[in-house]
Amino acid sequence: MGLKKIKLLSGEFIPEIGYGTYLEKGVDCYNGVLEALKAGYRHIDTAAFYGNEEEVGKAIRDSNVPREEIFVTTKVWNTDRDYEKAKKSLEESLERLGLDYVDLLLIHWPANEKQFPGKSNEINLDTWKAFIELYKEGKAKSIGVSNFYLHHLKNLINNSEITPMVDQIELHPGYMHEELLEFLKSHQIICEAWSPLGRGNLLTNQTVINLANKYNKTPAQILIKFILQIGAIPLVKSKNKLRIKENLDINDFEISSEDLDILKRIDTGISYKNPDFIDF
């Protein structure tokens, strides 16, 4: 079962579904990535902050899937924002991963005014300048950001030569970022959705369950398909072999526009992290 690929501004192609590794450590992470690759995933998402790059890299090597067929993402953590620190962070990530390059490098969170009054835009730009150099050097085949809102993105776009190719944000029914999604689309920036299952909470949402029954699919499959149909890339995660496979089995149905609208309006009751107010 081949996954569709989406062309990035870099000219590289990213698989339409990614396997996420947040909170996965040690043997669980290794086994999860290995199972995902066996099941057909070709897009693996990790980060320096996750503390699992070594396990991700080992699973990639042990999978016997050719490196050029696997799209690997990692991220630079908040303590490494800054020109020199960002470059060093990627070198350390590559060493842990055992790779010569990553397919996508992201700024994990934007610097904000709460933590850096009067300096946040400059910090984000300095980090982005390092990313541009790493991109030109081929150490990152594509570059982008994570958890960036409109004003963060505009700062980079208006003050640098290269537009971010990806913005990875929390995105799922009930948390839609419609203005941001329109902006990303208009600038050909691909949106990746972290926590497409609403941190797991939406799996037991009655509206989602009702739609799963209607389409004869699992709640997770409904939520993953929702993200794909609104034009974003879902990053999904499971340690269960069956669910890892099930989460890819979403090509034999379409959610109607009426049902998409119902999903968009779900009240999740979840509290969210606004990147302008984080203090980590």
Phi, psi for 81 (deg, rounded to 5): -65, 140
Is 272 a known active-site residue? no
C-alpha dist (Å) from residue 277 to 76, 150, 151, 272, 274: 19, 15, 14, 11, 6
Tell me 191's DSSP state. E
Instruction: Enter the tokens of residue 133.
Output: 């150099």
C-alpha dist (Å) from residue 90 to 81, 103, 130: 11, 12, 10
Q: Which residues contact 258 (CB under 8 A, 6 or more apart)?
A: none
Tell me 120's DSSP state. H
Please state, in angstroms and rounded to a whole number, the distance separating the CA atoms of residues 131 and 133: 5
Choice among 30, 50, 101, 175 that is catalytic:
50
Read off the amino acid at residue 19.
Answer: Y
Q: What is the dihedral of CA 223, 227, 229, 231, to 10 degrees?
A: 180
Q: Pick left, alpha or beta for residue 56 (phi over 0 → left; psi -120 to 50 → alpha; otherwise beta).
A: alpha
* DSSP strands (E only) in the chain: 5-7, 13-15, 18-20, 43-45, 71-76, 104-107, 143-146, 166-170, 190-194, 233-236
Q: Which positions are catalytic?
A: 50
